[in-house]
Amino acid sequence: MVGRLCAGLMCLMLGGCSSVSYYSQLASGQLQLLQAREPVAKVIADPSRPQVLRDHLAQSQKARTFASQQLHLPDNQSYRLYADIGRPYVVWNVFATSEFSLSPQNHCFPVAGCVAYRGYYNQGAARGEAALLQQRGMDVSIGGVEAYSTLGWFNDPIMSSMMAWGEERLATLIFHELAHQRFYVKDDTEFNESFATFVEQQGTRQWRAARGLAPASHAMLQQRDQFIRLILDTRQRLEKLYAQPLAADVMRQAKTAEFERMRSEYHQLRDSQWGGDKRYDAWMNLPMNNARLLPFGLYDQWVPAFAALFQQQGGDWMKFYSAVEQLGRMPIEQRKAALRQLESLGL
């Protein structure tokens, strides 16, 4: 009975069950996750569980309380539960674009709206989908996801996939996912992910300050911002390229040249300004295509705009959320224009 209810609800949320195999794996994956949940307090109190896990979860609950009390994020049972899922990622997202486009292949569902990827609980299934898309000439990328939000439909747990990045990284994931519960706009992935990324980043700054820790290394933050800027600049150049009336072979050569330019500029940044720090080498050295750039446009595009909005509201979280909700009620083109205006302020 529980399985049928879960499957029915997932089909309602995710779109009519038009693809039985895809929606079946969504329903069964979510059901397994729900069944694996147990109270964090129970795990912490259990001496048979690894001490490292218990200590890590104990620290996570401090961040969870901070999220509700100081960041005014939802105060519910989400992230007060734990689930050992036995794999490094909870889902694998498949991103796809046309060969000469940075517009994602969207998938639209009644409740979640349109999103720029398809999620799979099994890595093999994600790879199978990616292979089919590649056969159709699409640019494809697979990204493992440590956590996701059900937007308040269920009490989301801390998952074992979230535990490998250290206490601060776990706190940032909690802030990010709770931000999705706090506010979500259908059919605008860039808005939703940029909003959650800003909440994550600002929340982490305040979380460090609350614990008497110094701000995160300026050099590391600068490297992150420069790396993201490099990717976004490459996206902008590619968008201009794809708008030109060029033959496919000419377009293909120019596309390759843009990716080589990105790598060259990265190496120059790394060696001349970062002291040879190779933290982003693994990402940069993988085969490149449009789909690999998608998460940066989705997760980072409007972060500066939300930062400006937060400052406009005097750093008051409730006023900030109210202003975000006003943006979210605008028609999408008007919303983007307002975000561009905020971004231009450079506060």
Residue by residue, pLDDT tens for the chain (347 residues) are: 333 333 334 433 444 334 778 888 888 999 999 999 999 999 999 999 999 999 999 999 999 999 999 999 999 999 999 999 999 999 999 999 999 999 999 887 766 677 888 999 999 999 999 999 999 999 999 999 988 888 888 999 999 999 887 889 999 999 999 999 999 998 898 899 999 999 999 999 999 999 999 887 878 889 988 999 999 999 999 999 999 999 999 999 999 999 999 999 999 999 999 999 999 999 999 999 999 999 887 778 899 999 999 999 999 999 999 999 999 999 999 999 999 999 998 65
The sign of the dihedral angle between the CA atoms of 182, 185, 187, 189 is negative
- The amino acid that residue 103 corresponds to is S
Q: Tell whether 136 is covered by a domain.
A: no
Domain that holds residue 19: 1-36
pTM: 0.83
Contact, 90 vs 148, CB < 8 A? yes
Closest CA to 134 of 192, 163, 95, 106: 95
Q: Tell whether 17 is covered by a domain.
A: yes
- Quote the CA–CA distance of 191 and 342 in Å, as a whole number: 13
Q: Tell whether 3 is covered by a domain.
A: yes
Contact, 175 vs 73, CB < 8 A? yes
Structural domains of the chain, count: 1
Q: Tell whether 163 is covered by a domain.
A: no
Return the residue matching tokens 């990616």. 130
For 108, other C-beta atoms within 10 Å of its C-beta total 12
Helix segments in 166-217, DSSP class H: 167-182, 189-210
Q: What's the confidence (pLDDT) of residue 6?
A: 37
H or E element, residue 54: helix 51-69
Q: What's the confidence (pLDDT) of residue 113?
A: 74
Tally the C-alpha atoms within 13 A of residue 93's C-alpha that lie toward its C-beta: 19
Contact, 70 vs 206, CB < 8 A? yes
Closest CA to 232 of 305, 297, 302: 297
Q: Tell whether 49 is covered by a domain.
A: no
Q: What's the confidence (pLDDT) of residue 107?
A: 84
Q: Tell whether 30 is covered by a domain.
A: yes
- Quote the CA–CA distance of 59 and 66 in Å, as a whole number: 11
Q: What's the confidence (pLDDT) of residue 108?
A: 79
* 3-state SS string for 245-260: CCCHHHHHHHHHHHHH
Q: Tell whether 291 is covered by a domain.
A: no
- Quote the CA–CA distance of 206 and 154 in Å, as a whole number: 27
SS3 83: strand
Tell me how many degrees the CA angle 54-59-65 measures, rounded to the nearest 5.
125
Q: What's the confidence (pLDDT) of residue 179?
A: 97
Q: What's the confidence (pLDDT) of residue 301?
A: 85
The sign of the dihedral angle between the CA atoms of 136, 140, 145, 151 is negative
SS3 122: coil
**Tokens representing residue 245 in the block:** 């009336």
SS3 329: helix
Phi, psi of 91, deg, nearest 5 = -140, 165
Q: What's the confidence (pLDDT) of residue 345?
A: 85
Largest CA distance in the chain: 67
Q: What's the confidence (pLDDT) of residue 7?
A: 35
Q: What's the confidence (pLDDT) of residue 215?
A: 85
